[in-house]
A and B are shown apart, each in its own frame.
Chain A
Amino acid sequence: MKIATHNPGALETRLRESRKLGRKILVPYITGGLAGWIDAIRGAAANGADAIEVGIPFSDPVMDGPIIQMASEKALRDGATPTSILHELRSVDVDVPLIVMCYYNTVFRAGHDRFANSLRESGVVAAIVPDLPLEESAQWAVAADKALIETVMLAAPTAPDERLPRVIDRARGFVYAVGLLGVTGERAELATTAVAMATRLKKITDMPVLVGVGVSNAEQAKQACSVADGVIQGASVVRRLLEEGADSVANYVAEVRAAIDSPVVSKR
């Protein structure tokens, strides 16, 4: 077990406190700029989210499956831009940390420092850049650290054991355990890799470990939380926002909250 040596930022502090209280962590993902997204953030925050991940839509989202692709295309068609999304986030008054998920070209095009500062100015405390692996992350990491933006790193099932500690070393906020081999989207069952990945990570770090990608409903969230400190729920949230609107997101977040809060009942 490696004890993190960096100073935890706002997100990590909050998640560590939750963990200390025995509370499992729930992070819903919401596509920025999609109709009803601000209400969805408020609804999620009011119904048990510990932090909220806001996706900045990109034209070529290679880590995303059909639902989030569709949401991204829709938001872009409606005129969403990184600037408009960050601008709107400024006026969102919720009591949970905000995380931005964006593809690297959004950062690169804006400029590392400029983008990091614009996140900070919008009240965002952390960033997830899914196509910026450890080896390419140095420039962004410097800019992000300087602006007090915590860069969440992803750990994937394909990583050999020697790689994970290096990824964790650079992670801030929490470690994002990729739950399966594949892109975002809902699956009928929780992949066995989800718990396996959380187990591998929990053995070697004291940072919060959250499982995302393929955690598709309350039951699966509960399963993942048997080992992980929490979950990220993406496609299942975005699908509800697309099909039913922001109220449905609030109800769903409450449902997942209740599931991961309930004590584990033995099936025997």
Chain B
Amino acid sequence: MNAKPVPSELLTPGADGRFGEFGGRFVPETLVPACEELERAFNDAWNDSLFRTELDDLLREYAGRPSILTECHNLGAQLGIRLILKREDLNHTGSHKINSVLGQALLAKRMGKKRIIAETGAGQHGVAAATAAALLGLECKVYMGAVDVERQSLNVFRMKLLGATVEAANSGSRTLKDAVNEAMRDWVASVETSYYCIGSVMGPHPYPFMVRQFQSVIGKEARKQFQEMCGGTDPNVVVACVGGGSNAMGIFSGFVDAKTRLVGVEPAGGAAVGRGTPGVVHGMKSYLMQDEYGQVQEAHSISAGLDYPGVGPEHSYLASVGRAEYPSVNDQEVIEGFKLLARTEGIIPALECAHAVAWIAKEAPNIQGQTVLMNLSGRGDKDVAQMMTILGDELD
């Protein structure tokens, strides 16, 4: 048995920005004052009832919260479990990213910033950032790996339509990791006027903490809704996909103090927790896929949103103390998961979420009769063109 102490509540990192040994603020000196200013501004806003009311109003009237729970009767019966989805895919812009972006964009305005910078993998965070910028009258620049610009062209167009500028990152692996590098370089140069709107529970303190707080609305709602649906009980298992890990932290945050098994599903080609070692990149200490010299390795995943060699530091912490587990699934299993949810429930999941579906299908024999709550963090519309080339002939 694991003898390590298991946290019974969510951590609030102290001044050193740590979750256990993970996290911190490993940024160029130029950005240190900006991170400190942001930390003060966020704490101030988060404790200000006017800010919270403004954010709650936007989440309700603009994003469409609360998102509903949907029980998957067909797939549940097929797998021998009770499967319930938290429908973040039904939010405005089609994913959970809007939760954090609305909070961060409001905060940017409160801090007097006129421009926001964002990085994006699949384009969901970029679209959400462009959306919030349009709504709140902010200039928006989105960095996206050149490979992702190619495979997510629909989202690129969407961002442009919303008035954002999209810049392809052509360095390194030309995916999410390199988009983060470019966004950070922009921020170093524009820190006095720009707000860096990070898309996940990653980066230097206070970002991992702040983004988790903004995403915790998922877990808070889900726990209450689940108890109403299931006679006051908590789920046996909560499952979410993990790239940087914001949707997973959002739903986990509601269940850390419950007797619920927490499962974050990583892509086999980007399994930072599963196969990584502690390292420091993008401002944080966390599990990282790297070589013996500390060079960051390129991730390879069918889903652009999970194509990231690192992971948010709080996940590293939850893994290190044994509170959450991080299995991985391969691309072929993901494709099957994608089809499975579409065919049995009439719901096309984002490829990211198809990872969670794939793990549930694989794990089903071991969890017969249990209740499983899965965070369906995004819808699959953005992936249809890519899947058409993969599955096209097979479906005829």
Contacts and interface: CB of A to CB of B under 8 A. Distances in A.
Contact of B188 (A133, A159, A182): A182
A65 B28 contact: no
A105 B279 contact: yes
Interface string B268-294: 000000000011111101001010111
A158 interface: yes
Interface stretch (B30-38, B105-113, B126-134, B259-267): B30-38
B29 A133 contact: yes
A182 to B, nearest CB: 4
A74 to B, nearest CB: 12
Interface string B16-32: 10000000111111111
Interface string A175-196: 0001001110000000000000
Contact of B290 (A62, A65, A109, A154): A109
B78 interface: no
B279 A106 contact: no
A110 interface: yes
A135 interface: yes
A69 to B, nearest CB: 6
A104 B166 CA distance: 30
Q: Is the interface of B mostly helix, strand, loop or mixed?
A: mixed
A183 B27 contact: no
Which size class do A's interface residues fall under?
35 or more
Q: Which among B28, B192, B278, B292 has the highest number of chain A CB atoms within 10 Å?
A: B28
A181 B293 contact: no
Contacts of B391: none
A62 B185 contact: yes
B33 A109 contact: no
A109 B26 CA distance: 14
B29 A159 contact: yes
A153 B30 CA distance: 12
Contacts of A62: 28, 181, 184-185, 188, 282
B172 interface: yes
A182 B186 CA distance: 7
A82 B192 CA distance: 35
Nearest to A107: B294
Given A181-B192, A183-B188, A59 B29 contact: no
A108 B30 contact: no
A22 interface: no
Contacts of B189: 181-183
B293 A81 contact: yes
Contacts of B30: 154, 156-158, 178, 181
B227 interface: no
B280 A108 contact: yes
Nearest to A167: B29
Q: Which among A59, A63, A83, A104 has the highest number of chain B CB atoms within 10 Å?
A: A59
Nearest to A84: B293
B58 interface: no
Contacts of A159: 29, 32-33
18 contacts: A59-B295, A60-B177, A62-B181, A62-B184, A62-B188, A105-B290, A106-B293, A109-B293, A130-B28, A133-B27, A135-B16, A135-B32, A155-B29, A156-B28, A163-B33, A167-B29, A181-B189, A183-B189
Given A73-B172, A108-B278, 13 more contacts: A59-B296, A60-B178, A60-B281, A61-B181, A82-B294, A105-B279, A105-B294, A130-B28, A133-B25, A158-B31, A167-B29, A181-B190, A181-B191
